[in-house]
Amino acid sequence: MLYREAGQFKTSYAADQAIFPIRQDQIAIGLMAAVAVLGVPALANEYFLETIFVPFLVFAMAALGLNILTGYCGQLSLGTGGFMACGAFFSYKLATAFPELHIVIVFLLAGLGTAGVGVLFGLPSLRIKGFYLAVATLAAQFFLVWMFNKFGWWTNYSSSGVISAPPREVLPGLFITGTEAGPVTKYLFLLVFVALLALVAKNLVRSRIGRTWMAIRDMDIAAEIIGIRPLWAKLSAFAVSSFYIGIAGALWAFVYTGSVEALAFEINRSFQVLFMIIIGGLGSILGSFLGAAFIVLLPILLNNGMLAIDPTISTALVSHIEFMIFGALIVFFLIVEPHGLARLWQIAKEKLRLWPFPY
Amino acid sequence: MDAETRTEAAVDARRPGPARAIGEVLLEVKDVTLRFGGVRALSGVSFDIRRGEIRAIIGPNGAGKSSMLNVINGFYQPQEGQITFKGEVLQKMRPHFAAKNGIARTFQNIALFKGMSTLDNVMTGRMLKMHSTWFEQMLYMGRAKREEIEHRRFCEEIIDFLEIQAHRHTPVGKLPYGLQKRVELARALAAEPEILLLDEPMAGMNVEEKEDMCRFILDVNDEFGTTIALIEHDMGVVMDISDRVVVLDYGRKLADGTPDAVRANQDVIDAYLGVSH
pLDDT at B21 over 80: no
Decide if B217 is inside a domain.
Answer: yes
Residue of A nearest to B94 (CA): A225
Per-residue pLDDT averaged across A93-112, rounded?
Answer: 95
**Among positive and negative, which fits the CA dihedral A310, A313, A315, A318?**
negative
Are B87 and B200 in a shared domain?
yes
Min distance A36 CA to chain B CA atoms (Å) = 23
Q: How many CB atoms lie within 10 A of CB A14?
A: 13
pLDDT at A47 over 90: no
* A153/A167 Cα distance (integer angstroms): 20
What pLDDT does A179 receive? Answer: 81
Query: In this complex, do B113 and A214 lie within 8 Å of one another by their Cβ atoms?
Result: yes
Per-residue pLDDT averaged across A208-224, rounded?
Answer: 94
Q: Which of A73, A207, A285 to mutate to test the interface with B (most CBs of B within 10 A)?
A: A207
Are B172 and B201 in a shared domain?
no
Q: A11 in contact with B at a CB cutoff of 8 Å? A: no
What tens digit of pLDDT does each residue of A242-274 get?
A: 999 999 999 999 999 999 999 999 999 999 999
Are B12 and B32 in a shared domain?
yes
pLDDT at A10 over 90: no
Decide if A19 is inside a domain.
Answer: no
Query: In this complex, do B113 and A219 lie within 8 Å of one another by their Cβ atoms?
Result: yes
Decide if B108 is inside a domain.
Answer: no
Residue of B nearest to A236 (CA): B134
Interface contacts A/B by beta carbons within 8 Å? 98
Decide if B37 is inside a domain.
Answer: yes
Are B97 and B222 in a shared domain?
yes
ipTM score here?
0.88
What tens digit of pLDDT does each residue of B213-238 get?
A: 999 999 999 999 999 999 999 888 99
Among the partner residues A12, A206, A215, nearest to B124 by beta-carbon distance: A215
Are B187 and B204 in a shared domain?
no
Q: A228 in contact with B at a CB cutoff of 8 Å? A: yes
Domain boundary among B192, B213, B228: B192
Are A3 and A352 contacting, i.e. CB atoms less than 8 angstroms apart? Answer: yes
* A201/A231 Cα distance (integer angstroms): 21
Decide if B107 is inside a domain.
Answer: no
pLDDT at A159 over 90: no
Are B118 and B178 in a shared domain?
yes
DSSP letter for A142, please: H
* B276/A156 Cα distance (integer angstroms): 87
Are B228 and B95 in a shared domain?
yes
* B230/B240 Cα distance (integer angstroms): 13
B181 or B3: which leads in pLDDT? B181
Are B188 and B104 contacting, i.e. CB atoms less than 8 angstroms apart? Answer: yes
What tens digit of pLDDT does each residue of A123-146 get?
A: 999 889 889 999 999 999 999 999
Q: Which of A208, A212, A231 to mutate to test the interface with B (most CBs of B within 10 A)?
A: A208
Among the partner residues A204, A211, A215, nearest to B138 by beta-carbon distance: A204
Are B197 and B176 in a shared domain?
no
Domain boundary among B145, B167, B192: B192
Predicted confidence band at B33 (pLDDT cuts at 50, 70, 90)? very high
CA distances (Å), A47 to each of A182, A249, B94, B199, in order? 11, 22, 60, 63
**Residues spanned by the domain of A85:** 47-270
Are B125 and A226 contacting, i.e. CB atoms less than 8 angstroms apart? Answer: yes
Decide if A123 is inside a domain.
Answer: yes
Query: In this complex, do A225 and B98 lie within 8 Å of one another by their Cβ atoms?
Result: yes
**Residues spanned by the domain of B137:** 114-192
How many angstroms separate the first and last alpha carbons of chain B?
43
Are B97 and B2 in a shared domain?
yes
In degrees, rounded to 5, the angle at the alpha carbon of residue B168 between the alpha carbons of residues B165 and B169 is 145
Are B208 and B95 in a shared domain?
yes
Enclosing H/E stretch for B255: strand B252-257
Predicted confidence band at B123 (pLDDT cuts at 50, 70, 90)? very high
Among the partner residues A14, A200, A215, nearest to B113 by beta-carbon distance: A215
Are B265 and B255 contacting, i.e. CB atoms less than 8 angstroms apart? Answer: yes
pLDDT at B7 over 50: no
Decide if A310 is inside a domain.
Answer: no
A contacts of B115 (beta carbons < 8 Å): 214, 217-218, 283
Enclosing H/E stretch for A82: helix A80-97
* Complete DSSP assignment for B28-60: EEEEEEEEETTEEEEEEEEEEEETT-EEEEE-S
Predicted confidence band at B166 (pLDDT cuts at 50, 70, 90)? very high
Domain count for chain B: 2
Mean pLDDT (chain A, rounded) = 92
Are B5 and B93 in a shared domain?
yes
What pLDDT does A1 receive? Answer: 52
Q: What is the pTM of this model?
A: 0.91
Domain count for chain A: 1
Residue of B nearest to A19 (CA): B140
Domain boundary among B162, B192, B222: B192
Are B84 and B212 in a shared domain?
yes
Name the phi and psi angles at A169, rounded to 5. -110, 145
